[in-house]
Amino acid sequence: MSLLTVDTNEPPFIERGHQLPAHASQSRRHKKVVGVIWILLVLALALAVVLVWHHHDAVKKVAPAPPKITVTSTTAKKGDIGVYLDAIGTVTPVYTDSITSQVNGLVVAVHYTEGQLVRKGDPLVDIDSRPYRATLLQAQGALERDENVLAQAQMDLERYRASWARNAIAKQILDDQEKLVLQDQGTVKNDQGTVRYDELQVEYCHITAPIAGRVGLRLVDPGNVVQSSGAVTLAVITQLEPITVIFTIPEDSLGPVEAQLHKKATLTVSALDRTAQTPIASGKLLTLDNQIDTTTGTVKARAVFDNKNDALFPNQFVNTRLLVNTLQAVTLVAASAIQQNGQASFVYVIQNNIAHIRSIKTGVTNGGVTQVDGINPGDVVANSSFDKLQDNTAVVVSNKVSTQPSPAGANGNSAP
């Protein structure tokens, strides 16, 4: 009879409905926990790898810091600046004489040369005076005759008065003689007037310069016949020293100008070339016209210039700049540093190499320098690279040169 052998390595047979032993159940749960832990560790490691990879890519994709913008700078200053009125003016001589003949006759001599500077009384043109001298001689002869007739009548009058005193003649004879003397006196006066007229005609034959100035081009030659009608101009003389410039002032600016004139202030006027950059001469305001031109809303003004160097030429067009007032101790900055945004004005103030937008209010502009409100003297502002600048932009200042404001009397533009 065979014996039944039992394998002790095999788990015992578990019948349906029977529970495993407690130690077997715990072992299986332990294995499951360990498996879950390993899975979690693998997932955590994979997640860490993914995060590291993404961080590495993100580091690669981060753009480098933008470079700082290089700018030039200018420094706001405190100083004086002039308030100017700009206009176009015409150089106008104080006197311009177009000389014509006052007698009829033949031109016998022309004493001036073209462009000559003449003084008052210098000879210009001689006209044949012989006919007028002959007429003068006749008038002088008639005057002598009538003066002697008057003298004879006066002697007769004295005799008649003596006779009348002795009752030797009738009163009527004395009265007639008195009236005859009066008639002769009238005749002598008439002769004297004729002589003076003829003397004047002779003088008109010798034409001299009525003013000092420059003679223009020669308009007549010896041998020309001229008439007293004034149809032919013999010479034109323009006074050059002094000379004036006539320009216009807007009626809205008339008040400040008149206020200065009422104070007896001397208002400086500068004449500049066509580009309005180079000064030609400096003078002073002489007077204003007495009425406003309603078609243009302006009033004419006249300024006088010494013109010692003949820099101003008659009828020349010049740019004029009238200094109306001087603003003192104001903040000045280079006009090129001011930017516009519509009607608003602003600058970039640089502090600690950072550009900050600062709103300002502009005033007078003079010689590239503008009076502003909104910044202080000593503030450093950007003066270039405006197409790259924004608020709070890092900058590198390539210079430390500040703008020196122009003096109050320098050339400049009017206030807006």
Given this model, what pLDDT does residue 343 score?
Answer: 86
Buried b (16+ CB within 10 A) or exposed e, 137-160: eebbebbeebbebbeebeeebeeb
Given this model, what pLDDT does residue 41 score?
Answer: 76
Distance CA 387, CA 12 (A): 91
**Using an 8 Å Cβ cutoff, are 345 and 339 in contact?**
yes
CATH number of 96-237: 2.40.50.100
The answer to whether 84-93+241-325 and 96-237 have equal CATH topology is: no
Distances 60 to 51, 63, 91 between C-alpha atoms, Å: 14, 8, 74
Domain ranges of the chain: 71-82+327-397, 84-93+241-325, 96-237
Given this model, what pLDDT does residue 51 score?
Answer: 73
Q: Which residues contact 319 (CB under 8 A, 6 or more apart)?
A: 86, 87, 88, 89, 271, 272, 273, 274, 276
Task: Report residues of the chain scoring pLDDT below 50.
Answer: 1-20, 401-416
Q: Amino acid identity, residue 111?
A: H
pLDDT tens-digit series, residues 1-45: 344 444 444 444 444 444 445 555 666 666 677 777 777 777 777
Given this model, what pLDDT does residue 24 score?
Answer: 56
Distance CA 239, CA 234 (A): 17
Specify the CATH architecture of the domain 71-82+327-397.
Beta Barrel (2.40)
Buried b (16+ CB within 10 A) or exposed e, 198-215: beebbebbebebebbbbb
Given this model, what pLDDT does residue 64 score?
Answer: 59
Given this model, what pLDDT does residue 20 score?
Answer: 47
Given this model, what pLDDT does residue 16 score?
Answer: 46
| CATH class, 84-93+241-325 region | mainly beta
